[in-house]
């Protein structure tokens, strides 16, 4: 009986995890990409390129 309860509990947790993972509410991405960015101030050096 205890074993059956344990199996039911594990299945319940798995189903909950799957349901939450697959259905969280938004359309976004949210992938963390940590690549250093340089000094954008220098964009202004070549202002003529933007003409």
Residues 29-48 touching other proteins, rule: CB under 8 A, are 29-48
Per CB under 8 A, 16 contacts other proteins: yes
Least distance from other proteins to the Cβ atom of residue 21, Å: 8
Q: CA-to-CA distance for 3 and 11, rounded, in angstroms?
A: 12
Per CB under 8 A, 5 contacts other proteins: no
b/e sequence 23-50, b meaning 16+ C-beta within 10 Å? eeeeeeeeeeeeeeeeeeeeeeeeeeee
Q: Which residues bind other proteins (CB under 8 A)?
A: 12-13, 15-16, 19-20, 22-51
């Amino acid at each position: 009986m205890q074993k059956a309860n344990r199996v039911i509990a594990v299945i319940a947790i798995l189903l909950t995890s799957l349901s939450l993972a697959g259905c969280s509410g938004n359309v976004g991405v949210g992938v963390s990409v940590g690549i250093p960015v340089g000094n954008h101030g220098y964009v202004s050096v070549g202002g003529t390129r933007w003409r």
